Amino acid sequence: MSKSNIARAAICEPLSSLLVDLLRYLRYFLVVAEELHFGRAAVRLHMSQPPLSQSIQRLERELGVRLFDRDARRVALTDAGRQLLPEARDVLAGEDRLRGLAERFRRGEAGVLRAGVPPDLGGRAVAALLPAFRERSPVELKLREIGTAEQLRALADRTLDVGVLRLPFDVSWLSLGEVLTSPLGVLLRPDHPLAAAPDVRLADLNGLGLVLFPRAAAPALHDEVLTTCARHGYTPTEVHQAGTAEFALGLVLAGGAVALHDGVSPPADVAWRPLRGTPLLWRTAPAWPRGRHTPAVTAFADAVAEVLVARGMRPAEGTLPRYPRPAAEYLS
């Protein structure tokens, strides 16, 4: 520790002790002022009378005024004591409020929870998530719309408290809430021949490009999607990276490409068809760094589960590996 830090610590420690003493003496002053009797005040304070008298004298020396007129028969407030009494009550009330607020923070009942959600979560899901969280926690919720990779960085540098992320990603340093799955299908132009089929195999999409989220948003998921497509016989003619749903829709409508979609409220201008055998799924879970769990984080994770289940997602089956893969990696 540097000399300047040692000097500051030496100054701050007695100042802190003096502040604690002052608050204690003000409480003694308040009780004596209410009782106007040192013996009864000492009983209320669970202390003997001599230390109480000494504490009041110390307070009078610190303030530079007499607070009580006292003799063998009576104790009475001086003019200064009467004037200072409401100020003392205000100071002690402020201390009580401060301690109460600090306790609410310790219990996770106050403050702000900074949470991230993926860009494709959808406006209706976000609209449902906010009141679902408010029903569970008095903490203010601040949402950011960011991809999985950026959420992981924000969780690591503590600018985010919890996130809603798409698996797979390294979970070794994270705690996960309930993992929910949603089978993926494809969006096609309405006049494409596959739009009339009840379902589509990935191999049927050969000759078409694939519209996918930018790889930087979720590198592991991006690579897993392309690997799974290749294993099922589909190699896109081109991989288009779309940062918004509108841009992805435009590329599909322009022809020559398909996009992945979970089938919840698909755009009206295109056809959605499920993928046969469920080779691709979104796996979504709330996540937060280990050791940074709070009641507000639990409330958020529960609210996310409620909202996503209402949108048709289902709990994942079995134990997830460190880097989860789709449930049906190969079709028979």
CATH classification at residue 99: 1.10.10.10
Per-residue pLDDT of the chain (332 residues; tens, 9 = 90+): 454 444 444 334 444 455 668 889 999 999 999 999 999 999 999 999 999 999 999 999 989 999 999 887 899 999 999 999 999 999 888 888 777 667 766 766 558 899 999 998 888 999 999 999 999 998 999 999 999 999 999 999 999 999 999 999 999 999 999 999 999 999 999 999 999 999 999 999 999 999 999 999 999 999 999 999 999 999 999 999 998 889 999 999 999 999 999 998 899 999 999 999 999 999 999 999 999 888 999 999 999 999 999 999 999 876 554 444 444 333 32
Q: Both 116 and 203 in a single domain?
A: no
Q: From 106, 126, 153, give the residue that closes a domain.
A: 106
Q: Both 13 and 101 in a single domain?
A: yes
Determine the pLDDT at residue 101. 67
Instruction: Provide the number of structural domains found in the chain.
Output: 3
State the DSSP string of 32-75: HHHHS-HHHHHHHTTS-HHHHHHHHHHHHHHHTS--EEE-SS-E
Q: Beta-carbon neighbour count of residue 155 at 10 Å?
A: 22
Domain that holds residue 90: 3-106
Give the integer Cα–Cα distance in Å for 226 and 213. 12
In a domain, 55, yes or no: yes
Q: Both 119 and 102 in a single domain?
A: no
Q: Both 226 and 82 in a single domain?
A: no
Q: Both 116 and 230 in a single domain?
A: no
Q: Which residue has 């109460």 as its token pair?
A: 100
Q: How far is CA 123 from CA 119, 183, 252, in A?
A: 9, 20, 21
CATH of the domain at 124: 3.40.190.10
Q: Both 16 and 126 in a single domain?
A: no
Give the integer Cα–Cα distance in Å for 158 and 107. 19
Q: From 106, 141, 169, give the residue that closes a domain.
A: 106
Indicate the pairing of strand 180-183 with strand 314-315. Answer: antiparallel
Per-position b or e across 53-75, b if 16+ CB within 10 A of its CB: bebbeebbeebeeebbebeeeeb
Q: Both 290 and 271 in a single domain?
A: no
Determine the pLDDT at residue 98. 78
Angle at 34 between CA 32 and CA 36, to 5 degrees: 55
Q: Are the C-beta atoms of residues 138 and 252 closer than 8 Å to each other?
A: no
Q: Both 291 and 149 in a single domain?
A: yes
The reported pTM is: 0.68
Q: Both 68 and 12 in a single domain?
A: yes
Q: Both 19 and 98 in a single domain?
A: yes
